[in-house]
Amino acid sequence: MTVKLWISGARPKTLTTSLSSVAVGACCAYPVIVGDLNCAQTRSDTSQCAAVTADAQTMMSRFWLVTLLCVCVGVLLQIAVNYANDYSDGIRGVDEGRGGSEKKTKKPMRLTASGLVPAKHVLVAAVVSALLACVCGLVAVVLSQAWWLLLVGVLCLLAGWFYTGGKHPYGYAGFGELSVFLFFGLAAVLGTQYALSGSVSVLGVLCAVVAGLLSCQILMVNNLRDINEDRRHGKRTLAVRMGERGARVMLGVCCVVAWAIGVWVVMLLWTPWGGILMLSGIGVPWRMVTSTGRKEFRKALSDACFQPPFFAVILLISLMV
C-alpha cells in the first residue's frame, strides 16, 4: 500500500472541481468586501458606513485564512467522498472489472475492487478525510461567525455518504448530477462567498450555476463511460435512465448553458475582453462532447476537469483588471 496507490484512489484529476468552486466563491466575495470598504464613495446614505467599513476591514484581514480553510474543506470533503464511493461501490460489486491498473482497463483503478487495500482501510481513509474537513470547516465558521454554514456542512457530509452508501443510495437512482450541482456549485461557491463577505450577490449566484454545471460534466462523462457496467449492476445513473444518446445530449446542453452564462458574466465584468478570453477555450468543451461520441472517455474526462479551473482563472482576471 504505497502513497501513490492512495493518491490514485483519491482521484486527484477530479479535485480541481472543489478547488475551483471555492476559488470562484472567493472571487465573488472580494468585490463585495471592496465595495463595503469604499462605502462612503459608493452609497448615497452614509449613516451606516462606519459600521459597514469596520466589518469589511475585519473580513479583509481574515480573507486569505478563511479562503485557505474553505479550500481544505472542499478538497478534503471530495477526497472523503471519493474514498467512500470506492468503498461502497467496491463492496457492492459495482466496480467489478475496474480493479486493475488504469493502463490496462483505461479506467481509474479502485482500491477496494482491486483487492490491494482492505475495504475497512478505505472506509477509515474516508472517515479521516471527512473529520479533517470538519475541523477546517469549524475553524472557518468560528472565524467568519457564519454559524448557519454548519448545517450546510452536515448536509454535505450526509450527501457524500449516501451518494453510494446506505441501503438506498441516491447515486444509484439518477440523482448524482443534481447533488453535484447543489453541493459543488451552489453550496461551495455561495458558502465560500458568504463565509468571506457575509452576503451573497447576484454575481455569486450566476457563477455558482456555472461552477455547478461544469462540475456536473465530470460526473456525466464518468457515467457515460461506465453506462454498461452500471446498467448490468442495477446502478441506474442518469446516463442509464436516459440512454447513451440522451445522456450525450444532456451533456451538450449543460455545456452550452454553462458556457453561455460564463461568457456573459466575464464579459460584463471586463467588456469585451473577458468574454473573448473565455471564448479562447471553447475548443475544449467541443472536444469533450465529440470525444464521448467516439468513446474516448479519458480525453473527455481530462477536458471536463479542465473547464472548472479555466472558468475560475478567467473570472479572477476579469475581476482584477
**141-158 pLDDT per residue, tens:** 999 999 999 999 999 999
Give CA–CA dist 35/53, Å, rounded: 9
Residue-wise burial string across 42-74, b where 16 or more C-beta atoms lie within 10 A, e elsewhere: eeeeeeebeebbebbeebbeebeebbebbbbbb
Sign of CA dihedral 267, 272, 273, 279: positive
Provide the whole-model pTM: 0.92
Q: Is 103 exposed, middle or buried (0-12, 13-18, 19+ CB in 10 A)?
A: exposed
Sorted by sequence, the CB contacts under 8 Å of residue 111 that are 6+ apart come out as 5, 6, 9, 83, 86, 90, 117, 122
Q: How far apart are the first and last CA of the chain?
A: 47
Q: How many CB atoms lie within 10 A of CB 254?
A: 21
Residue pair 110/87 in contact by the 8 Å Cβ criterion: no
pLDDT in the model for residue 44: 66
Low-confidence ranges of the chain (pLDDT < 70): 1, 42, 44-45, 95-109
User: According to the model, what pLDDT value does residue 9 have?
Assistant: 86
φ/ψ of 201, rounded to 5, equals -110, 170
CA distance 238 to 244: 10
Helix (H) or strand (E) holding 269: helix 238-269
What's the confidence (pLDDT) of residue 105? Answer: 44
Predicted confidence at residue 106, as pLDDT, reads: 56
3-class DSSP state of 115 = coil
For the segment 98-150, what is each residue's pLDDT rounded down to a tens digit? 555 555 445 666 788 878 888 899 999 999 999 999 999 999 999 999 999 99
The dihedral region occupied by 16, where left means phi > 0, alpha psi between -120 and 50, and beta the remainder, is alpha
pLDDT value of position 47: 72
Length of the chain: 321
